[in-house]
Amino acid sequence: MWKLLFLASNGLVAAVMLSVAAAAEIRIGVAGPMSGPFAAFGAQMRQGARMAVDEINASGGINGEKLVLATSDDRCDAKQGAPTADKMAEKKVVLVVGHFCGGTSIAASHVYARQNIIQIEPASTNPALTEQRPGPGLFRLVPSDRKQASFASAYIARRFAGKKIAIIGDDSHYGASLAQSVRAALAALGQAPTLSESFAGGQKDFSSLVAKLKAAGIDVVYAGGYHTEIGRLVREMRRQGVTAQLVGPDALVTMEFWRLARGAGEGTLMSFTPDPRKSAAGAKVVKKFRARKQEPQGYTLHSYVAVKLWADAARSAGSVEFAKVTAALAKANADTPIGKVRFDGQGDLVDPPMIWYVWHKGKYAPLKNAD
């Protein structure tokens, strides 16, 4: 919009055109792996946040101001966590939805705490993220590894009592934390693994590791890590004739795992929260995503809810000021498309539900008769 301003100077009148901003903007961000082997998850996060932003802007924005969404690629590299967070701070964002990988999220969280930027985590499960959080503005929308480990270990101890168990994990924060947590939880239940092994992130050759599984006569393998390596692992297991049950975490709840594992992924079990696409609360927004030719799998709806929760808190506070919105989020008690959201003193979900999923013929679905 342009405004005509008349200025009097030395008896002369000058017409000056001044640019006036039509409306103020509030910047929020999504940070995660937008490229590389985990880009599918970054795309989910971006899609979810974008839908929420579009809905919020269509309804008038936040306290009369429109949202602008910025994205940043951390490539799931812990070394890029702080630099990526610095970029978000330079963009003057007040909220970051992210990151995806645990090491990256932890590194970035220290920058956000210093810069008074709220971080809502839709995916990272490393316990240290919230147990050692550097400030009050960090909240998580998925169960931590301790929750997943407790859930998985109870099932393994019951379902495979007296069987030979192998626990393996990659060298990432995510995989190592899961493997360690499951090992400790099983020990507390009086069931020690027959074999404990690790593998490298990006590893492609699993022949030696699988040979160890075969020689030990392993009945069930718990694998902590990402879909890329675990997909290759289970292919090699079946190639060598190892029929052990594969059990994994939430990172396997993606079509990318099936594409990598191919038919070898059949029967793989994974722990995760109930699929929000199947809930009555999620039906309306799922329909909107599908109208955009987007399937809201994985962390799409978690990222959508992250933005919506922040927006509700900002409206309640009447401000986007860090302290006010943080205080409102800490008191959240919301029914959302991903279920009830309440946070404990660490910023973790209170009593997050978990279920088992199983891969069957290229699709994953809740496991029947899991008890």
Q: What are the structural domain ranges in the chain? A: 25-143+277-341, 146-272
pLDDT at residue 114, as a whole number: 98
- Residue 98's DSSP bridge partners are 31
The strand ranges marked E within 262-353 are: 269-272, 334-336, 339-341
C-alpha closest to that of 343 among 309, 308, 297, 303: 309
C-alpha closest to that of 45 among 113, 109, 119: 119
pLDDT at residue 369, as a whole number: 77
C-alpha closest to that of 272 among 299, 245, 306: 299
Whether 146-272 and 25-143+277-341 are alike in CATH topology: the answer is yes
Asked if CATH classification 3.40.1410.10 holds for the domain at 25-143+277-341, the reply, yes or no, is no
pLDDT at residue 254, as a whole number: 87
Beta carbons of 76 and 106 less than 8 angstroms apart: no
Between CA 25 and CA 105 the distance in angstroms is 26
Cβ–Cβ contacts within 10 Å for residue 337, how many?
22
Residues in the chain: 371
Between CA 198 and CA 309 the distance in angstroms is 38
Between CA 75 and CA 84 the distance in angstroms is 10
Q: To which residue do tokens 């999620």 refer? A: 282
Q: What is the pTM of this model?
A: 0.84
- Residue 269's DSSP bridge partners are 247, 358
Between CA 3 and CA 21 the distance in angstroms is 11
Q: What is the pLDDT along the chain (371 residues), one digit of tens a residue?
A: 333 232 333 443 333 333 334 458 999 999 999 999 899 999 999 999 999 999 999 999 998 999 999 999 999 999 999 999 999 999 999 999 999 999 999 999 999 999 999 999 999 999 999 999 999 999 999 999 889 899 999 999 999 999 999 999 999 888 998 999 999 999 999 999 999 999 998 999 999 999 999 999 999 999 999 999 999 999 999 999 999 999 999 889 889 999 999 899 999 999 999 989 988 889 999 999 999 999 999 899 999 999 999 999 999 999 999 999 999 999 999 999 999 999 999 999 999 999 999 999 999 999 987 76
C-alpha closest to that of 45 among 101, 85, 90: 101
The strand ranges marked E within the chain are: 2-9, 12-19, 25-32, 66-73, 95-98, 118-121, 138-140, 165-170, 195-199, 220-224, 245-248, 269-272, 334-336, 339-341, 355-360, 363-366
Q: How much is the CA Rg of the chain, to the nearest whole Å?
A: 23
Strand 355-360 relative to strand 269-272, pairing: antiparallel
Q: To which residue do tokens 């409206």 refer? A: 315
348 DSSP assignment: P
pLDDT at residue 130, as a whole number: 97
Beta carbons of 36 and 75 less than 8 angstroms apart: yes
CATH class of the structural domain 146-272: alpha beta
Between CA 65 and CA 346 the distance in angstroms is 30
Between CA 296 and CA 298 the distance in angstroms is 7
Per-residue buried b or exposed e for 255-268, using 16+ beta carbons within 10 Å of the residue's own CB: ebbbebbeebbbeb
Residue 54 identity: D
Cα–Cα–Cα angle for 298, 78, 187, rounded to 5 degrees: 70
Beta carbons of 93 and 28 less than 8 angstroms apart: yes
Cα–Cα–Cα angle for 225, 37, 77, rounded to 5 degrees: 75
Give the SS3 label for residue 124. Answer: coil
Q: Which residues contact 66 (CB under 8 A, 6 or more apart)?
A: 23, 24, 25, 26, 57
Give the SS3 label for residue 202. Answer: coil
